[in-house]
Chains A and B, each alone.
Chain A
Amino acid sequence: METSTIVNPAKLDIERVRKDFPILQTSVYGHPLVYMDNAATTQKPWAVLKAMEEYYTDINSNVHRGVHYLSQRATDAYEGGRGKVAEFIHAKHAHEIIFTRGTTEGINLIASSFGKKFIKEGDSILITAMEHHSNIVPWQMLCEERKAILKVIPINEDGELILDELDALLNGVKLLSMNWISNALGTVNPVEKIIAAAHRQGIPVLLDAAQAVQHMDVDVQALDVDFLAFSSHKIYGPTGIGILYGKEEWLNQLPPYQGGGEMIKTVTFERTTYNDLPYKFEAGTPDMAGAVGLGAALDYFQGLGIHAVQDAEKELMEYATEAMQSVEGLRFIGKARNRAGVLSFLVGDIHPFDMGEILDQQGIAVRTGHHCAQPVMDRYCIPGTVRASLSFYNTAAEVDRLVTGIRKAVSLLG
């Protein structure tokens, strides 16, 4: 009998895995590319590229309601993608999976639809001090429109949430929206505990899982999270498509986000009745090829073994943290005990832009700046950071090149 509880004991063969990603074989300014900007976007394996090519070559047709053969195949492919996502995040039903353009659209959808239905003057929304602008601005817009209040869970010097006052902060809150892992600091937030605290006061929670899906075990039922959003391109899938998960009982209560085709049942000039989940929230022709690509990405990712991926990334993060600490004057921004994916740092008083530029000249791709999290930078009184973000396909040899690159930058700039 097959059982799904067997943990894949195989260790990831990184050199073999790297061959699955064509872009990792390229050179930049004559150096083999070291790609450490994975928190911004991840690279795509052949499996995804081929699935999308095959979709356009053999299957492409508009989905749903088509009487013809191709339309049926396209619908199967598109809905197959939805099924894979549902399985991947352990949703109870496939219709709890809404295809969006990305995390940002998922958050905006909830801000708009939840806002319309539930937010009144004087209500409050709670976020944290380490949110990406995508999880700040939609709420500010909603609060402005509804004369509601935006409250913020503070962070400490290490980049961890201060939760002592959480119960008091939750008082009067209608929705808590927060990231699982911070894109600027790499902090893994104790979301299970926070969701439970919110639920004790009857408050639903939206998780921004943009930086978490590729590093964590995602089980929306175990988390008991009410909404969860992520982007395909951060988990080795194509750009332009993302996921909003919502518990059926919540999604059924929310009004549609956009109007158009697909989301309706009947339309007359007097009245329109809306379609069932998930179509109520998917106005217009959806990104069929994107759904197929995302499905292929999840297949690929699960094929590697999620725990093998996590082990490889944990080992690499530990190696990188230690290796980088050996550089004199280097300090990490965000020293949470539980970090994943992201190493944000500064060296002495070297401007992050200067460091990024010298690393780039050595073929090392990192991100510099405020990482769309200006309040986090203000918290530490810095203009930005240099952020190296790792994936399972990065190697210890690449980390060594990063460290050598940083030393070179220090000698040029210092």
Chain B
Amino acid sequence: MTIKEEQDEIIADFEFFGGWEDKYEYIIQMGKELPPLDEKYKIEENLIRGCQSRVWLHADPKDGKLVFTADSDAVITKGLVSMVIRVLSDHTPKEIAEAEIYFIDAIGLRDHLSPTRSNGLLSMLKQIKLYALAFQAKSLQP
């Protein structure tokens, strides 16, 4: 699936939810189902500091694509992180760097990208883009 298709699928899933409880139940479920990040990757270099909750992000290049694994100490943040991974992981650096991320806004969680939430999600998205740009630049080197 393309990045766009993944996002549209998440948006479609969210359209079924009646109220905030269903929505949060789903996000929390996603958070709980995200496999925990290997302890060896839960290191300072992989830590994205939000004031409120912390996110660890690890990037692995694999067959010309980038595979992301991540974790958070707060389960709602973890659920959001899990959706971001679902959308962006396993794509080429170019696809990731050029991707427009609109699903968070579309499912009514735009607030979570506000710097004042300081939950690490915005910084995580920035970090993913940076990884993509870095790997893209690396692959272009002769």
* A contact set with B: CB distance below 8 Å: 29, 351-354, 356-358, 361, 368-370, 383-384, 412-413
Q: Which residues does chain B contribute within 8 Å of A368, judged by CB atoms?
A: 52
Which residue of B has the minimal Cβ distance to A361? B20
**Interface status of B92 (Cβ within 8 A of chain A):** no
Q: Is the CB of A351 within 8 A of B24?
A: no
Known: A369-B52, A413-B75. A353 touches B25 (CB 8 A): no
Q: Which residues does chain B contribute within 8 Å of A353, judged by CB atoms?
A: 52-53, 74, 76-77, 119
Known: A353-B53, A353-B119, A384-B52. A358 touches B73 (CB 8 A): no
User: Would you mind naming 28 contact pairs between A and B with Cβ atoms under 8 Å apart?
Assistant: A29-B20, A351-B53, A351-B74, A351-B75, A352-B52, A353-B77, A354-B28, A354-B74, A354-B75, A354-B76, A356-B52, A357-B24, A358-B76, A361-B20, A361-B21, A361-B24, A368-B52, A369-B51, A369-B52, A370-B51, A383-B53, A383-B54, A383-B73, A384-B52, A412-B21, A412-B24, A413-B28, A413-B75
Chain B residues bordering chain A, tally (CB within 8 A):
15
Q: Which residues does chain A contribute within 8 Å of B75, judged by CB atoms?
A: 351, 354, 413
Min Cβ gap A46→B in Å is: 28
Q: Is the CB of A412 within 8 A of B53?
A: no
Q: Which residues does chain A contribute within 8 Å of B77, judged by CB atoms?
A: 353-354
Q: Which of B32-75 contact A (CB under 8 A)?
A: 51-54, 73-75
How far is B84's CA from A306's CA once the two chains are assembled, in angstroms?
Answer: 52
- Interface readout for B111-142 with A: 1 if CB under 8 Å, 0 if not? 00000000100000000000000000000000
Q: A353-B53, A413-B28 are in contact. List 11 more A-B contacts (CB 8 A).
A: A29-B20, A353-B76, A354-B75, A354-B76, A356-B52, A361-B20, A361-B21, A361-B24, A369-B52, A370-B51, A412-B28
How far is B31's CA from A413's CA once the two chains are assembled, in angstroms?
Answer: 10
How far is B54's CA from A384's CA once the two chains are assembled, in angstroms?
Answer: 12
